[in-house]
């Protein structure tokens, strides 16, 4: 007997995504989320869970946006560039990237940007959709950690709009179709 189709909200709930994110998407489509979601952390969670490469690409784009492309430490820029290449399917050892990011994070005393890139690297090595989604979301949260609390909502909305240019709707819908195919098995 074939299983019935699953909604994005049901799927995210099955992965233990945050209650607010699950309620927000509910039975809406992944296109609706891509087009209208104003929470960059929700989008990073969704993209990471759908495909770790989409999650990493989203996370590093937000980190780069937060520094306006000007890195205060060369090592962070190298990690960013390596993660971006990995997300573009360039053959790289994701576990090596994760170790390198963690070392730099430690050496920079848990600087928010270093934490963001470490979480993006965790997403690259995740062995479950839930872990990939959580890591991508935590990367997004760490990127905006140094922003004053009263401006974080606005920055999150700005980053959500940025993600529309980083991850195409076709990529999101293709990844969702893979989830649906796997769910029907």
Residue 90: which domain range? Answer: 8-184
Task: Say how many domains are in the chain.
Answer: 1
Rounded to two decimals, the pTM is 0.91
* CA 21 to chain CA centroid, nearest Å: 14
Whether residue 2 is contained in a domain is answered as no
CA dist., res. 156 & res. 65, Å (int): 11
Strands (E), 1-144: none
- Dihedral of CA atoms 170, 172, 176, 178 in degrees, nearest 10, equals 70
Whether residue 141 is contained in a domain is answered as yes
Whether residue 3 is contained in a domain is answered as no
103: buried, middle or exposed (CB in 10 Å: 19+, 13-18, 0-12)? middle
Instruction: Note the pLDDT of residue 4.
Output: 62
Instruction: Note the pLDDT of residue 3.
Output: 54
Residue 2 to residues 27, 69, 180: CA-CA distances in angstroms?
A: 20, 49, 12
Whether residue 99 is contained in a domain is answered as yes
Instruction: Note the pLDDT of residue 1.
Output: 43
Write out the chain's pLDDT in tens, 185 residues. 445 689 999 999 999 999 999 999 999 999 999 999 999 999 999 999 999 999 999 999 999 999 887 888 999 999 999 999 999 888 889 999 999 999 999 999 989 999 999 999 999 999 999 999 999 999 999 998 888 889 989 999 999 999 999 999 999 999 999 999 988 87
Q: Which residues, 6+ apart, have CB-to-CB distance to 98 below 8 Å?
A: 118, 121, 122, 124, 125
Whether residue 68 is contained in a domain is answered as yes
Whether residue 1 is contained in a domain is answered as no
């Amino acid at each position: 007997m074939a299983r019935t189709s699953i909604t994005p909200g049901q799927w995210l709930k099955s992965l233990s995504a945050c209650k607010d994110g699950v309620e927000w998407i509910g039975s809406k489509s992944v296109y609706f989320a891509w087009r209208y979601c104003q929470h960059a952390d929700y989008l990073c969670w969704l993209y990471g869970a759908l495909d770790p490469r989409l999650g990493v690409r989203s996370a590093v784009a937000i980190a780069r946006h937060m520094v306006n492309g000007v890195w205060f430490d060369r090592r962070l820029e190298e990690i960013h560039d390596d993660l971006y290449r990995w997300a573009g399917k360039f053959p790289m050892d994701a576990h090596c990237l994760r170790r390198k990011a963690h070392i730099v994070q430690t050496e920079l005393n848990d600087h928010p940007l270093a934490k963001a890139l470490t979480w993006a690297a965790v997403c690259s090595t995740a062995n479950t959709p839930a872990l990939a989604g959580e890591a991508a979301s935590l990367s997004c949260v760490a990127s905006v950690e140094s922003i004053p609390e009263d401006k974080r909502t606005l920055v999150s909305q700005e980053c959500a709009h940025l993600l529309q240019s980083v991850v195409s709707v076709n990529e999101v819908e293709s990844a969702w179709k893979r989830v649906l195919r796997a769910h029907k098995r």
